Amino acid sequence: MTHALTLCRDALDRLMPMHLCLSDDGTIRFAGPTMRKLIPQGAQQAGDVFVGTSSHAQGCVMSLIRAAVAGQRLSLRLRHHPQLVLRGHVVAPGFGTLLLDLGFGVTLSDAVAVLGLTENDFAPTGLALELMFLQEANRAIQGELARFNRHLMLARQDAEREAHTDPLTGILNRRGLLAALRQMLDPRDGQPFAVVHLDLDNFKQVNDRLGHPVGDQLLKEVARILGRMTRSHDHAARLGGDEFVLVLGGNWSCQTLDGMGMRIIRGIEQLSPGDCKVSASLGIVLSAGYGPNDIDRLLADSDVALYASKRGGKGRVSVAPQPVDCAVRPHQGP
């Protein structure tokens, strides 16, 4: 037994919000509420709304639609939004009409973004809602992953900063200094610089007479003096104990470095606590002649220059403008 089923327009709108009813000649008769959002104002023919999805199918939209009545797959592209592809099927209910039911498929997320569609624009039983929910869940997950990655990056940066920082003075430690020198000796940088190796004179008597808290405070004050001598591309480091290093970018003359070193010494001497007469000895080496693998030699040569200041009576500056000859280095060990 065959039963005829007649649906009113309201029922069609609720069941198939993206349906489109055409006359045999392609004239638009009516459309579902979501489909109406896709039809440009003034459009009267199917060809005003759609084009074929391939170059050879351009201009024969009704041929594609009629072929779909016979069972072929229907695939159309929106004329005014060619990035959006609709797929569906077609039936011929009679009375010289064709009824299309279309969906966005994989271009759903683009359609939602371009056309401002919401879940109310789709049938509750359609897969479009499931796809929208999955995409929303995916966006939420991606957002959480992005936040997690940002937190991880910040935590890694904090860990690296802590690993390169002297906890007492807040300036670089030895590891941080080596990293800075490695970067500045990179041939791609190619910028000259000076290494200022500093050791406090008579610091031991501060700890012995006044106690380690006073000595620690003095080290902090020395670090502040050195910090005032640095610019954004310079570095100040504490190697340990009362030993410090400045790395100063730029072309320096020996005379300028000697004057700057004496200003550092005078500033440190003014910090002397109680009756302890604290001063500093400086050894300075220029980067000319050193390569990317010469960090140890560079620091050793600055130590040689520092040793020359100590041996010359302390409280003075020794500048070695070229790599120091190994013969003049202080004897190490037996």
8 A C-beta contact, residue 276 and residue 218: no
CA angle in degrees (0–180, nearest 5) for 125-95-58: 70
Distance CA 23, CA 19 (A): 14
Specify the residue for token string 């489109």.
Answer: 20
Distance CA 193, CA 252 (A): 7
Long-range contacts of 268-272 (CB under 8 A, 24+ apart): 268/200, 268/222, 268/225, 269/315, 271/218, 271/221, 271/222, 271/225
Amino acid at 144: E
Distance CA 261, CA 314 (A): 13
Please name the residue ranges forming H helices in the chain: 9-15, 33-38, 46-49, 61-69, 108-115, 127-163, 174-184, 203-210, 212-228, 254-269, 295-311
Closest CA to 206 of 271, 303, 281, 283: 271
Distance CA 326, CA 76 (A): 81
Distance CA 150, CA 331 (A): 51
Distance CA 238, CA 70 (A): 84
Orientation angle between helical segments 127-163 and 108-115, nearest 10 degrees: 90
242 is catalytic: yes
**Which residue in the list 242, 258, 303, 325 is annotated as catalytic?**
242
Return the structure tokens found at 280. 């500093």
Closest CA to 28 of 69, 55, 61: 61
Which residues are catalytically annotated? 242
